[in-house]
């Protein structure tokens, strides 16, 4: 009877050892699995943190470059304000000379102001010349007056303004039309005449011009938020 009892005890010990081994292996597997998940999570966080740091360093670099150019920019503006050529064509003597650059290339279409400039400064006060019509077309297509025949295809560009005008002078005074073109050429604001026609109508000569002028929208400088994805 003693031998079966010993065998039974050994069998029970082996069974308990197997259970203990299974529990140990299961526990180790759980720990290893959890460790792997934790390592992957920490690795992702480290990579994400590095991406954020890189973007911040890029922002700091851009801001530093901008700060470094401020001094040179101020110096260039001071030099422009002493430019005699700019001072000679100032629209308002109380404005700094650099304002002439802004007047030459305004930040908005402002078709009303352009039409007024054509009428009161560029086409008027020319001996022997009579203004028949002036038309300025904004980029949106709205005109300040009755449209004239001409090619306005270039005015579809968002930074251009279409215009046309018609003037006449006596057939014996052709220099008047030449002076009109010289006035346009001397304007600080750029005018590009794309179509020009001159017609003789008995005792008068009619000149019709079509073209475009330009403007440059103002740039807004501001800090922006950028989302960095993990």
* Helix H or strand E segment including 69: helix 2-81
Return the sign of the alpha-carbon dihedral for residues 113, 209, 105, 82.
negative
List the beta bridge partners of residue 166. 133, 208
The strand order across the sheet containing 191-201 reads 130-137, 160-170, 204-214, 191-201
Identify the top-confidence range among 13-17, 93-97, 136-140, 181-185: 181-185
- Give me the mean pLDDT over the 64-68 stretch: 87
Whether the per-residue pLDDT at 166 is higher than 80: the answer is yes
Whether the per-residue pLDDT at 71 is higher than 90: the answer is no
| Cα–Cα distance measured from residue 13 to residue 5, given in angstroms and rounded to the nearest whole number | 12
* Nearest CA among 133, 168, 148, 144 for reference residue 211: 148
- Give me the mean pLDDT over the 117-130 stretch: 88
Say what the pLDDT of residue 152 is: 38
3-state SS class at 208: strand
* Nearest CA among 183, 194, 204 for reference residue 119: 183
* Nearest CA among 150, 162, 142 for reference residue 214: 162
Q: Token pair 């954020």 is at which residue?
A: 52
| Cα–Cα distance measured from residue 61 to residue 38, given in angstroms and rounded to the nearest whole number | 34
- Give me the mean pLDDT over the 12-24 stretch: 76
Please tell me the pTM assigned to this model.
0.56
* Nearest CA among 177, 180, 181 for reference residue 169: 177
Say what the pLDDT of residue 42 is: 87
């Amino acid at each position: 009877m003693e031998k079966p009892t010993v065998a039974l005890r050994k069998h029970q010990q082996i069974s308990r050892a197997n259970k203990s081994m299974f529990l140990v292996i299961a526990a180790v597997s759980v720990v290893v699995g959890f460790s792997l998940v934790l390592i992957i999570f920490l690795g992702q966080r480290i990579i994400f943190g590095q991406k954020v740091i890189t973007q911040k360093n890029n922002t700091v670099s851009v801001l530093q470059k901008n700060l470094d150019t401020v001094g040179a920019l101020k110096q260039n503006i001071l030099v422009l304000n002493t430019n005699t050529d700019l001072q000679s064509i100032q629209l308002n003597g109380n404005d700094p000379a650099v304002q002439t650059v802004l007047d030459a290339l305004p930040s908005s279409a402002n078709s009303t102001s352009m039409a007024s400039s054509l009428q009161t400064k560029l086409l008027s006060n020319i001996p022997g010349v009579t203004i028949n019509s002036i038309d300025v077309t904004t980029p949106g297509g709205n005109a300040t007056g009755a449209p004239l025949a001409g090619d306005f295809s270039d005015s579809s560009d968002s930074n251009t303004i279409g215009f046309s005008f018609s003037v006449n002078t006596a057939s014996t005074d052709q220099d008047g039309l030449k002076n009109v073109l010289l006035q346009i050429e001397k304007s600080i604001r750029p005018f590009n005449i794309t179509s020009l026609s001159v017609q003789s109508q008995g005792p008068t000569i009619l000149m019709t011009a079509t073209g475009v002028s330009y403007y440059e929208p103002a740039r807004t400088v501001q800090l922006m938020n950028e989302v960095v994805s993990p």
